[in-house]
Amino acid sequence: MLKVSRKEKICHVDSSKFNKVGQSKIFNLNEVDKVITDNNCDSEKREQLANFCVKLIIA
């Protein structure tokens, strides 16, 4: 899910959805300001998100 406010774009995603191919492309990761996911997000994915300058929030 992507939530767009006036100031930022926030993506809520379950960590099991990372590295999966879907039927359609919704947005590019470089368009997102924050990603909120669960604590099963591995360190490799956390580093990849940091390389995109995305703020990662573990909830």
pLDDT of residue 26: 81
Q: Over the stretch 1-58, which tens digit does the pLDDT of each residue have?
A: 666 667 888 889 899 988 888 888 888 888 888 999 999 999 998 888 888 878 999 9
Residue with tokens 């300001």: 33
Burial 12-44 (b: 16+ CB within 10 A, else e): eeebeebeeeeeeeeeeeeebeebebeeebeee
- Give the Cα separation of 12 and 3 in Å (integer): 8
pTM for the predicted model, two decimal places: 0.76
Place of tokens 């990603």: 35
pLDDT score recorded for residue 36 = 92
pLDDT at position 4 is: 63
Residue 3 has what pLDDT?
Answer: 64
